[in-house]
């Protein structure tokens, strides 16, 4: 009996060794399936040009053609130099001040009678800017009243 009592603790100690206690993975029975679809590398690179997709092209720079006195004010005419415009802006400065927006017109407009620029005593200058959607042209060269 004494040998049985000694053998029992030795058997318990044998189970406390430094065996790997990492849990084993259980097979769930689900196998991965090859669908047969492969992705082919054509070797073609996609180049980022930095241009926005479907962005309208920048319109050509317009030109102020004529500034003439008419009915106590100034009549301004221009060439848009482009087609399919959505808006035309007329800008005016006087006596060297910063230009301000005078009028936003339809993209087909070709002239404007600027009744807010009276007389011939003040030097007025006009520029035109055209738009196709959100794309804006460079402003035209300035054309002045005198």
Question: Tell me: the pLDDT tens digits for 116-127?
Answer: 998 878 899 999
Domains of the chain: 63-144 (2.60.40.10)
CB 51 within 8 A of CB 128: no
Residue 27: exposure state from Cβ atoms within 10 A (0-12, 13-18, ≥19): exposed
Average pLDDT over residues 32-44: 60
Query: What pLDDT is stored for residue 31 in this prediction?
Result: 60
Residue pair 61/78 in contact by the 8 Å Cβ criterion: no
pTM passes above 0.75:
no
Residue 10 φ then ψ, to 5°: -70, -35
Q: Which residues of 110-128 are buried (b: 16+ CB within 10 A; e: fewer)?
A: eebebeebeeeeeebbbbb
Contact between 112 and 65 under an 8 Å Cβ cutoff? The reply is no
Can you give the length of the chain in residues? 146
HSE-up of residue 53 (Cα within 13 Å, Cβ side): 2
pLDDT > 90 in the chain, percent: 53
Per-residue model confidence as pLDDT tens digits over 39-65: 565 666 656 666 556 677 899 999 999
Residue 57: predicted pLDDT? 87
Q: Exposed/middle/buried for 59, CB within 10 Å: 0-12, 13-18, 19+? A: buried
Q: What pLDDT is stored for residue 32 in this prediction? A: 53
Segment (H or E) for 7: helix 2-14
What integer pLDDT is reported at residue 4 of this predicted model? 45
Give the residue-averaged pLDDT of 59-73: 95
């Amino acid at each position: 009996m004494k040998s049985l009592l000694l053998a029992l603790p030795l058997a318990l100690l044998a189970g406390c060794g430094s065996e790997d206690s990492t849990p084993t993975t259980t097979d769930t029975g689900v196998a991965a399936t090859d669908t047969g679809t492969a992705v082919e590398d054509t070797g073609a690179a996609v180049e980022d040009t930095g241009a926005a997709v479907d962005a309208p092209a920048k319109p050509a720079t317009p030109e102020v053609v004529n500034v003439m006195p008419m009915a106590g004010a100034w009549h301004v005419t221009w060439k848009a130099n482009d087609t399919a415009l959505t808006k035309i802006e007329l800008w005016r400065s006087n006596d060297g001040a910063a230009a301000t927006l005078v009028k936003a017109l339809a993209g087909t407009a070709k002239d404007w009678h600027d009744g807010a620029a009276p007389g011939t005593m003040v030097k007025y200058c006009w520029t035109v800017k055209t738009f196709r959607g959100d794309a804006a042209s460079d402003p035209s060269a300035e054309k002045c009243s005198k």
